[in-house]
Structure 1
């Protein structure tokens, strides 16, 4: 439900999480047999992490691993809506999943704040904003996802749900805060030169990349270990990145051949 004016504006999902879903929550109670976790993303939902699901191996004292008020990332093992049960596991979440979920939740909290500001700009009441937010959350899964979509597609993407004033305010804030996604492609050059100044010739071939005119593209060369050199191309879309990579590869291989050396290139998958 909507929060009071002195608290953070947060919109939570209705219903229950899905089996296998990664969720974030706050430990509310720690008992000898397990810990109860209030799910931060769901309305009035609390799950149980049995002591056997807290950490790998035998646990002598559960309080050595979890404490009341602690934020935890869990995997949903099972749900029973009829009985109101949600079984969770902390140990089944790997480090990458934990980092990604924490980052996702931080982004979502920022998006709640952006939505609140958009509501103020558009003159929308907190109650109305909450209702619109619930509809957007159902459509996009995350409020941050709403701002991302509006950044790329414009306010018309949410016009039917948010109305013109709020949709335009969301677009304005999205343009101010969302950074375009970057795609990255990589590959390996193998460059050789038997000349006395072979290293300098290889460097000269790689420096050909600096002569390319590539707007919105960032290219970096990393030394892997003779004779291998990694090229990393970063852009906002794959088509542009692929085009830039081809130009760079052609330039480098043509130059090293001209300098009496040889070279090959293989794209990393």
Structure 2
């Protein structure tokens, strides 16, 4: 079945002062023609005077064909289908908020579109049956979908959906919206040239590991003295980063309380990509090969397991 364009929301047109994400289709003398994906790709226009608060020297530097922009609706003529938009009246804060809503709506639309195609039903009819009602009830269908991860019945039972629709819907929501762990890493240098030496380093690193929580377990591994890496996997990036920052502070405080203790943060906690993790693993493997004999100041949390 051919999948025609369908708006994300029940309203056919946006309201004045509403923020929307548009895709630039064409640049003309008067301004830019754009498509409103959230409203079934209907056309709108951003007039030249509404592109920027500054003097426009080059339209191409402000807006490009194919690029997505956050704009605010100025006027809507539903009879003629005219939608006037402005880019210059959007603040960075408003743009960020609109982008967040758009990404949530796009995720919902992707799931709805997949289900409609799989069970061979009209996408708009699917929205009418439960998609748009969820927007009304929960503020956003995305929030309803997230809630259904733990209790599908509480969200969907009232709609009496056909078994095949419900099964594919629940499957796709779980596959696409189940949170994935984020790998967070920090690199530090820990050394101690005082009497306690190695024991002081082990004590400091152990104190850092002890900052672990059930949701944010921290592991410390030696790269090459005095460099150590702290890692964790967390479903909550913000919480994971906060716990890692606390661990770093504890390590610094502990090692500096010892005579000759020194501490340097080489990389603050941040989410890392698979590529970065592979680079780290390759580095550790190379160092291990080069240092077959373990030095006296090594600390590896796995050694005590």
- Counterpart in the other structure of 1:228: none
- Counterpart in the other structure of 2:59: 62
Q: Does 1:87 align with 2:71?
A: no
Q: Does 1:177 align with 2:173?
A: no
Counterpart pick for 1:147 among 145, 148, 151: 145
Measured against aligned partners, the alpha-carbon deviations of 1:193-238 in whole angstroms (never above 9, x if no partner) come to 88356697256312344467754424378xxxxxxxxx99874479
Measured against aligned partners, the alpha-carbon deviations of 1:46-104 in whole angstroms (never above 9, x if no partner) come to 4432323324532245355445x523312316345678543321574549946982x76
- Give the 5 Å matches for 1:177-256: 177-180=176-179, 195=194, 201-202=200-201, 204-210=203-209, 214-219=213-218, 235-236=234-235
> Is the 8 Å Cα contact of residues 35 and 48 (structure 1) preserved in structure 2?
yes
SS of 1:6 mapped into structure 2: coil
The normalised TM-score by structure 2 is 0.54
The normalised TM-score by structure 1 is 0.60
> Is the 8 Å Cα contact of residues 205 and 251 (structure 2) preserved in structure 1?
yes
Separation of aligned partners in 2, 1:258 and 1:29: 64
Separation of aligned partners in 2, 1:52 and 1:88: 8
Measured against aligned partners, the alpha-carbon deviations of 1:2-35 in whole angstroms (never above 9, x if no partner) come to xxx33466433213245262x2112344332322
Q: Does 1:113 align with 2:110?
A: yes
Separation of aligned partners in 2, 1:82 and 1:234: 50
Alignment: residue pair count: 248
Q: 1:164 to 1:251 in 2, by over 3 A?
A: farther
Separation of aligned partners in 2, 1:66 and 1:241: 37
Separation of aligned partners in 2, 1:249 and 1:219: 11
> Is the 8 Å Cα contact of residues 112 and 127 (structure 2) preserved in structure 1?
no
> Is the 8 Å Cα contact of residues 18 and 79 (structure 1) preserved in structure 2?
yes
**In the TM superposition, what is the alpha-carbon distance from 1:160 to its structure 2 partner?**
1.8
**Worse-superposed segment, 80-89 or 170-179:** 80-89
> Is the 8 Å Cα contact of residues 216 and 232 (structure 2) preserved in structure 1?
yes
- List gaps (5 residues or longer) in structure 1: 185-190, 222-230, 263-269
> Is the 8 Å Cα contact of residues 154 and 171 (structure 1) preserved in structure 2?
yes
Measured against aligned partners, the alpha-carbon deviations of 1:77-133 in whole angstroms (never above 9, x if no partner) come to 6345678543321574549946982x7656644543322343466675545324223
Instruction: Tell me the C-alpha RMSD between the 2 structures.
Output: 5.4
Q: 1:81 to 1:175 in 2, by over 3 A?
A: same
SS of 1:25 mapped into structure 2: strand
- Counterpart in the other structure of 1:31: 28
- List gaps (5 residues or longer) in structure 2: 184-189, 221-229, 262-305
**In the TM superposition, what is the alpha-carbon distance from 1:39 to its structure 2 partner?**
1.4
Separation of aligned partners in 2, 1:46 and 1:176: 33
SS of 2:206 mapped into structure 1: helix
Q: 1:81 to 1:261 in 2, by over 3 A?
A: farther
